[in-house]
Amino acid sequence: MTVADGRAIITVLGQDRVGILAGITAVLAAANVNILDISQTILQEFFTMIMIVDLKGSNLDFFELQKQLKARGEELGVQVTMQQVDVFKFMHRI
């Protein structure tokens, strides 16, 4: 599947622990996905991160990358979701 404007939003939520950022970004680097913007914080003991990524140079299709991110998230004990920017905008419009 190709993404209309080439961008996606990735969210990561879960119990804080060492290696979450490294684990998720390693999947993106291996797929040649560029991180355009990132916000990460710890809310009490909970890790939260949102990224906007550019998928234009990715060597994986959208669904395969989504599958790999979800699998890495499960290994790390966090929930990882990836949505196309257009879908995210539509779902969160007022």
Give the domain CATH number at 15: 3.30.70.260
User: Is 1 part of a structural domain of the chain?
Assistant: no
d(Cα 14, Cα 81) in Å, to the nearest integer? Answer: 12
Q: What is the pLDDT of residues 45-79, one digit of tens each?
A: 999 999 999 999 999 999 999 999 999 999 999 99
pLDDT exceeds 60 at position 36:
yes
Helix or strand (DSSP H, E) at 13: strand 7-15
User: Is 30 part of a structural domain of the chain?
Assistant: yes
Domain total of the chain: 1
pLDDT exceeds 50 at position 1:
no
User: For residue 43, what are the domain limits?
Assistant: 7-91
pTM: 0.86
pLDDT exceeds 50 at position 87:
yes
User: Is 2 part of a structural domain of the chain?
Assistant: no
User: Is 14 part of a structural domain of the chain?
Assistant: yes
User: Is 86 part of a structural domain of the chain?
Assistant: yes
d(Cα 89, Cα 47) in Å, to the nearest integer? Answer: 23
